[in-house]
């Protein structure tokens, strides 16, 4: 049976966590400084009653941390970094930039279905454990729904997928909420992703997280990116 690259990615999580990936949250137990406090402090009401985070600037344009086929705003204190087989930096949930992962394994992790990881925005500086990741593909006659379905299928061990179209002032696409089951940890967690098509190819934004609690605390950052998403062209 084929195992999705996302499954491999998440399979590395326990070793990375035990290796010290959680040290960036050592002060989270102090009153008013933990992830929940940070999330509530930076979130603000957005469209349709959904909370969005305070903006820390935009990425995607030439000269930004990640040059992409799209641009969008990143939540305050989140750190964006381009992804590549030789990129520096760590990853709290086992991303391809983690220095403990070999280049060969990293190259495998970079691909999921029809898209390749090109950028990750780290939530750890803002007090959470997880990433908003950007994946991009080559131009093709495939719509956003098909791209997103292939992306989720390639992750492996997913269930309860709920797809729906979305539209903002600048772009339209397809969004999905689903549950990922870790066989290694014997637990499930919520994840979310959206896909749009551009002249340069499809783009997927994916929000995972260490667990469902972290995922839900990071949703305001995802909503900010979604609300401000636009094609670069």
- The secondary structure of residue 54, as a DSSP letter, is P
The pLDDT assigned to 189 comes to: 96
Query: What's the Cα-to-Cα distance from 136 to each of 52, 99, 119, 194, rounded to whole Å?
Result: 24, 23, 9, 12
Distance of alpha carbon 229 from the chain centroid: 14
Q: What is d(CA 13, CA 146) in angstroms, rounded to the nearest whole number?
A: 28
The residue-averaged pLDDT of 128-154 equals: 96
126 contacts 38 by C-beta, under 8 angstroms: yes
Q: Domains in the chain, start-ordered, CATH in brackets?
A: 5-21+53-231 (3.40.1000.10)
Confidence of residue 99 (pLDDT cuts 50, 70, 90): low
Q: Determine what percent of the chain is predicted with pLDDT higher than 70.
A: 68
94 contacts 112 by C-beta, under 8 angstroms: no
Q: What tens digit of pLDDT does each residue of 173-232 get? A: 999 999 999 888 789 999 999 999 999 999 999 999 999 999 999 999 999 999 999 998
Candidates 110, 93, 70; CA nearest to 11 is 93
pTM over 0.85? The answer is: no
Q: What is d(CA 162, CA 115) in angstroms, rounded to the nearest whole number?
A: 20
Which of 7-16, 41-50, 102-111 is least confident?
Answer: 7-16
Strands 201-207 and 55-59: unpaired
- Sequence-distant (≥ 6) Cβ neighbours of residue 60 within 8 angstroms: 66, 67, 68, 69, 70, 71, 72, 232
Q: What tens digit of pLDDT does each residue of 195-206 get? A: 999 999 999 999
The residue-averaged pLDDT of 95-115 equals: 70
Higher pLDDT residue, 107 or 175?
A: 175
**Mean predicted lDDT score pLDDT of the chain:** 78
């Amino acid at each position: 049976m084929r195992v999705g690259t996302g499954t491999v990615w998440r399979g590395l999580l326990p070793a990375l966590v035990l290796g010290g990936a959680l040290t960036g949250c050592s002060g989270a137990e102090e009153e008013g400084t933990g992830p929940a406090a940070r999330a509530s402090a930076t979130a603000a009401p957005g469209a349709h009653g959904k909370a969005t985070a305070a903006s820390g600037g935009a990425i995607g344009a030439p000269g930004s941390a990640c040059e992409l086929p799209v641009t969008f705003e990143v939540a305050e204190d989140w750190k964006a970094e381009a992804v590549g087989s030789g990129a520096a930096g760590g990853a709290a949930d086992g991303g391809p930039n983690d220095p403990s992962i070999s280049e060969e394994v990293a190259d495998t992790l970079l691909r999921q279905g029809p898209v390749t990881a090109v950028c990750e925005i780290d939530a750890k500086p803002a007090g959470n454990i997880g990433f908003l990741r950007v994946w991009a593909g080559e131009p093709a006659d495939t719509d956003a729904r098909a791209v997103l379905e292939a992306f989720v299928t390639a992750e492996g061990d997913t269930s309860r997928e709920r797809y729906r179209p979305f539209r903002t002032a600048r772009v339209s696409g397809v969004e999905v909420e689903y549950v990922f089951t870790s066989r290694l940890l014997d637990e499930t967690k919520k994840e979310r992703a959206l896909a749009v098509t551009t002249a340069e190819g499809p783009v997927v934004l994916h929000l995972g997280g260490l667990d469902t609690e972290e995922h839900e605390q990071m949703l305001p950052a995802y909503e900010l990116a979604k609300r401000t998403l636009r094609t670069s062209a």
